[in-house]
Amino acid sequence: MGVFEELFTEDTAEKLSLEIIKKIKDQETIIDYDFNISKGKMVGDTSDPDANTWIKFDTNKSELMKKVIDTLADESIEPTEERKNIFLDFRKSLMSKLSSDYKSQFTDALRNAIFENKITVEMCPMEHCEVLESDIADVPLSSKYLLKIKKINYAGSIPEYISQPIYEKLMEIETEKPDATKEELQDLLNEYIQDQQKNNKWLFVKSVELCHGLFEYQLDVFVDYTMKNVETK
């Protein structure tokens, strides 16, 4: 059995599932989301949903993730039809484990990371949580940095997906000030965010931090963020 066949197994899918759950809480992991709630209910069709949550992992911070990425990129391993099917089965198993077998641990980790441990499972049970894609992340090559957006979360309205306009502003600033330091760029971006506060979708964006990490692995997930009324005694 070759290196590829030894790696992409059911056992590795299980280990990677647990590694993902563990890494969600790490500072290096970026979680972005785009959803709307009205009167506690999710807005839109939840029966056949699109992804509304994106989790980006820095594979340099995970030996197992890095091994998976490096093996897939290894040009010495011939991409046979058999290996393609092995990987597709592996990916399907990984997504199933996160969506089903380890759903409780996965949603607990997501809930705590997104709502900063302020929302309980009773308040936001995340009854429908499905991993739709497990793939190599798209990183904007035109920028030297990646963004870690810090958000102020609570049980009301949640801001729309705002990474793209911030990336565009970052690239604009980098073009105008090619010699700017990381700290200077970060300060200018945060000034820009403050200027956008009059727009409702920016109200809960706290600040932005620039990172040098290489985020190669990404999960696209649909989560039902419906909020429940919880009676207190």
pTM of the model: 0.69
Task: Report the length, in residues, of the chain.
Answer: 233
CA distance 191 to 206: 11
H and E: helices and strands count for the chain: 7, 8
pLDDT average, residue stretch 169-184: 88
Examine residue 57 and state whether it is found in any structural domain, yes or no: yes
Examine residue 67 and state whether it is found in any structural domain, yes or no: yes
Examine residue 154 and state whether it is found in any structural domain, yes or no: no
CA distance 63 to 85: 24
pLDDT at 199: 72
Among 58-62, 168-172, 221-225, which is the least confidently predicted range?
58-62
CA distance 137 to 56: 7
From the list 232, 230, 231, 233, the residue with the least C-alpha distance to 40 is 230
Q: In this prediction, what percent of the chain has a pLDDT beyond 70?
A: 82
Q: How many domains does the chain have?
A: 1
Examine residue 203 and state whether it is found in any structural domain, yes or no: no
CA distance 172 to 152: 26
Q: For residue range 51-92, list pLDDT tens digits in order.
A: 999 898 888 788 999 899 888 878 898 888 999 899 999 999
Examine residue 72 and state whether it is found in any structural domain, yes or no: yes
Domain that holds residue 131: 3-144+212-223
Examine residue 62 and state whether it is found in any structural domain, yes or no: yes
Examine residue 188 and state whether it is found in any structural domain, yes or no: no
Examine residue 126 and state whether it is found in any structural domain, yes or no: yes
In our burial notation (b when 16+ CB lie closer than 10 A, e otherwise), range 187-204 reads: ebbbebbeebeeeebbeb
The shares of helix, strand and coil residues in the chain, as percent rounded to the nearest 5, are 45, 20, 40
DSSP designation for 31:
E
